[in-house]
Amino acid sequence: MSHQIEFCKKCVNKSFSSSQGIICGLTNEKPTFQFTCPDFVKDVKEERRLAERAAVQDETHSYEDAQGSSTPVWKTILGIIIFIVAIIRLVAVFAR
């Protein structure tokens, strides 16, 4: 069902029911197609909006390093904090 709903989110014929969620605006029912909907008409604006939302979410939740691998922001910050604590401890040990 989730594949069908993702398909419907990008269709101009989609509608919303407070009791059922996203439904087909033509049949007023949940989608029943298996692979593709014969009445599908791409909603270009909605598809662009969903793509932009996904891109913003990716940017805010990960950091891409020079090699192109993605690391969550919290791991990067935690690594920096651990590094700073280690330097402070080294300085404290050698200062004695």
Can you tell me the distance from the alpha carbon of 72 to that of 64, in angstroms, rounded to the nearest whole number? 9
Q: Which residues pair with 70 in a beta bridge?
A: 64
- Is the model's pLDDT at 63 over the cut of 70? no
Location of structure tokens 């989609």: 14
What pLDDT, in 10s, does the model give residues 27-60? 998 988 888 888 889 888 988 888 888 877 766 6
What DSSP character marks residue 64? E
Element (H, E) at 70: strand 70-72
Can you tell me the distance from the alpha carbon of 64 to that of 38, in angstroms, rounded to the nearest whole number? 40
